[in-house]
């Protein structure tokens, strides 16, 4: 890694690649995020009904998703918008995991709720508005669950890595970074997708990096193209919003793919993933697993 990058991100030393830490692989049930496979997390913006969630879970699983996303607690731009079902939504997500076999990622909003959410979720999501909520980051770290840390809507990469460093400082090594677009002067889209951030992080950090094309664009028509761009940039996966009937979604319907759209996107990604893997020699998966095994061994004997 270039020395000027190491100096630029000096406040986040444990996030940076080194001879001891080349690639972190985050275990989630029987999955490995950062281990070479491109992991897709898909599902509705918010948990609405049992039927909606189960139908979505079973469909995205058949199309290749490995993790179900769904919001039980929803931070919204307007305080008058739907705020989520809370505990009942978490219970629905748990039942969806039992039926579909998918792991669960869902957002936690407060440090008081972190232990409860961790009882139901396999990954705790920290949303853009809470990236620098240090009390929440500490509480999420202490649950022991992997933490998906979304970039703040106006955060620099250095800001983002400092928040990741805090989670690592509190004893949780399983951090996944998520580029979800940032707020700029551009107004045509909901956010500006900073794909360069993904490419840079793959150079400087050992933490897995995923993309959120749904929030990055705010428009379902743009989601497949941004997903392909994320693959080309080296992302370890993506998180995308899918709904049985986006026009009637209780939140974020405009950026949600319907089932047919999700199927088409997943099929279209296959040649891009194949092309990327062919360009990596030796095999990315094998190298990543060996590096991770070396890291685990070193940590065990320290």
pLDDT of residue 301: 45
pLDDT greater than 80 at residue 9: yes
Average pLDDT of the chain to the nearest whole number: 91
* CA-based end-to-end distance of the chain: 25
pLDDT greater than 50 at residue 24: yes
The whole-number average pLDDT for the span 164-174 is 98
pLDDT of residue 78: 67
Q: What's the pLDDT band for 302 if we cut at 50, 70, 90?
A: very low
Give per-residue pLDDT as tens, 78-137.
666 666 789 999 999 999 999 999 999 999 999 999 999 999 999 999 999 999 999 999
Flag the least confident range among 28-37, 77-86, 206-215, 272-281: 77-86
Q: What's the pLDDT band for 276 if we cut at 50, 70, 90?
A: confident
Domain that holds residue 260: 3-301
| Distance separating alpha carbons of residues 210 and 226, to the nearest angstrom | 12
The whole-number average pLDDT for the span 203-219 is 97
| Domains held by the chain: number | 1
The whole-number average pLDDT for the span 57-63 is 98
pLDDT of residue 72: 94
- Look at phi and psi of residue 290 and say left if phi exceeds 0, alpha if psi is from -120 to 50, else beta: alpha
| SS3 at position 115 | helix
Query: Which residue blocks in 222-280 are alpha helix, DSSP H?
Result: 223-233, 259-278
pLDDT of residue 283: 38
Alpha-carbon distances of 205 from 19, 24, 101, 146, 199, rounded to whole Å = 12, 9, 31, 17, 10
pLDDT of residue 80: 63
Instruction: Say which CATH number the domain at 22 has.
Output: 3.20.20.70
Q: Could you tell me which residue, 288 or 104, shows the higher pLDDT?
A: 104
pLDDT of residue 26: 98
């Amino acid at each position: 890694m270039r020395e000027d990058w190491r100096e630029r991100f000096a406040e986040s030393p444990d996030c940076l690649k080194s001879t001891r830490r080349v690639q972190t692989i985050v275990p989630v049930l029987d999955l490995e995020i950062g281990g070479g496979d491109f992991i897709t997390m898909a599902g509705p913006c918010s948990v609405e009904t049992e039927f909606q969630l189960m139908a979505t879970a079973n469909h995205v699983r058949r199309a290749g998703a490995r993790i179900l996303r769904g919001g039980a607690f929803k931070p919204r731009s307007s305080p008058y918008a739907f705020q989520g079902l809370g505990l009942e939504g978490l219970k629905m997500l748990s039942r969806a995991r039992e039926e579909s076999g998918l792991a669960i990622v869902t957002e936690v909003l407060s440090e008081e709720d972190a232990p409860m959410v961790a009882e139901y979720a396999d990954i705790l999501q920290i949303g853009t508005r809470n990236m620098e909520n240090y009390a929440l980051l500490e509480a999420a770290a202490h649950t022991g669950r992997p933490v998906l840390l979304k970039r703040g809507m106006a955060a620099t990469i250095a800001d983002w890595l400092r928040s990741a460093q805090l989670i690592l400082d509190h004893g949780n090594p399983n951090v996944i970074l998520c580029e979800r677009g940032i707020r700029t002067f551009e107004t045509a889209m909901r956010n500006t997708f900073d794909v360069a951030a993904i490419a840079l992080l793959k150079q400087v950090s050992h933490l897995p990096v995923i993309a959120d094309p749904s929030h990055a664009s705010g428009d379902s028509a743009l989601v497949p193209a941004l997903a392909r761009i994320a693959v080309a940039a080296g992302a370890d996966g993506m998180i995308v919003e899918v709904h049985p009937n986006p026009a009637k979604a209780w939140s974020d319907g405009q950026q949600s793919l319907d089932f047919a759209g999700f199927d088409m996107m997943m099929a279209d990604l296959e040649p891009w993933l194949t092309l990327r893997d062919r360009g990596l020699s030796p095999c990315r998966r094998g190298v990543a697993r060996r590096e991770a095994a070396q890291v685990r061994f070193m940590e065990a004997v320290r």
